[in-house]
Amino acid sequence: MAEQPNAAAMATDAKSLVARLEGVAAYDATVVSTRRRTPNLHEVVLHCEGFTSLVALAGQDVMVEVPGAGTERFRRRYSIVDLDQDAATLALWIVAHGAGAGEAWVQAVAPGAHVDLVGPRGKQPVSATAAHHLYFADHSALGATKEMVAASRGESVMAFVEVATPEDAIELHAPSGVPFQCTWGHHDGHPGETSFLADAARTVALPPGVHVYINCEFTTMHATKAVLLERGLDPAQVVFKPYWRKGLSNAAHGEPPKG
């Protein structure tokens, strides 16, 4: 008989998540503002007095509760952007993709609305010892990439980022004095279907001491990782996280199906 999932392990209410997940807290935030940051990227700014003590590593995220059909509730994970402890605010960057619980929520949410979130989540810190940092990301990971690039100290930082259109590119900045180069690709309405990131992985220079971060669609992530390992990188030099999976909805806890 197949093992039945544990109901407590599947629960996504704030109390259950805080009890189950190490190092997280629940926050009742208020929407300060919403806007289209670029043609295909929403920005939601949240305020919560608890953010004054929120400590998040670059690239970590929060689990936002969003409504589904009827009484259903889901969690969607969005990277923490521009955390300001003094102002008790943070921003969420959410890709506009036209469907799904997260898209419906961000289209409807307005200033003054309350937002139930839990965090910080994420186990992919920026390496403190790498000489070189190399990023491969798609639009869904743009917020995380912005924060991680800004925290990357070493001899150089390079990023390859695929977004929808040229107008969706947002200037990224490495720490002062660290050489940084970003190459943008555009899927032009076909997210998760191009070979831009894997092709970049085939040709980019891989200097000694490089540490690689891959944050994108599930299949693209695995293809890009495979290229880098074939080129001789040690698995310990490559960290990766799927943000979504083409053709499948993320699960109720906010992560894409892995199987």
Q: Is residue 22 part of a domain?
A: yes
Q: Measured between alpha carbons, how far is 181 from 152 in angstroms, rounded to an integer? A: 13
Domain boundary residue, one of 69, 88, 121: 121
**What is the distance between the alpha carbons of residues 106 and 29, in angstroms, rounded to a whole number?**
15
Mean pLDDT of 202-207: 98
Residue 17 has pLDDT above 60, yes or no: yes
CATH number of the domain at 138, please.
Answer: 3.40.50.80
Return the DSSP state at 167.
Answer: G
Residue 8 CB neighbour total at 10 angstroms:
9
pLDDT for position 2: 39
Q: What range does the domain containing 143 cover?
A: 132-244
The tokens for 32 are 């300060």
Q: How confident is the model at residue 183 (pLDDT cuts 50, 70, 90)?
A: very high
CATH number for the domain spanning 74: value is 2.40.30.10
How far is the C-alpha of 256 from the C-alpha of 248, rounded, in Å? Answer: 7
- Tell me, yes or no, whether 214 lies in a domain: yes
Domain boundary among 121, 140, 172: 121
**Domain count of the fold of the chain:** 2
Q: pLDDT tens-digit profile of 224-235? A: 999 999 999 999
Does residue 41 surpass a pLDDT of 50? yes
137 and 159, same domain (yes or no): yes
**pLDDT(1) > 70:** no
Tokens of 54: 């929120």
Q: Please tell me the distance from the alpha carbon of residue 84 to that of residue 208, in angstroms, as a whole number.
A: 35
Cα–Cα–Cα angle for 54, 154, 175, rounded to 5 degrees = 55
Which pLDDT belongs to residue 5?
44
pLDDT band at residue 69 using 50, 70 and 90 as cut-offs: confident
Do 115 and 155 have their domain in common? no
Structure tokens at 65: 């509760």
* In-domain check, residue 191: yes
141 & 101 share domain: no
Is 255 among the domain residues? no
Q: Can you give the pLDDT at residue 98?
A: 75
Q: Which tens digit of pLDDT belongs to each residue from 86-134?
A: 999 999 999 998 778 889 999 999 999 999 999 999 989 999 999 999 9
Does residue 91 sit in the same domain as residue 193?
no
| pLDDT value at residue 252 | 82
Judge whether 256 lies within some domain: no
Q: Are residues 153 and 225 in the same domain?
A: yes
pLDDT above 50: residue 4: no
34/6 Cα distance (integer angstroms): 37
| pLDDT band, residue 217 (cuts 50/70/90) | very high
* Mean pLDDT over each residue of the chain, to the nearest integer: 94
127 in a domain, yes or no? no
Does 9 score more than 70 pLDDT?
no
Q: What is the pLDDT at residue 10?
A: 75
Q: Indicate whether 107 and 11 sit together in one domain.
A: yes
Instruction: Answer yes or no: is 251 within a domain.
Output: no
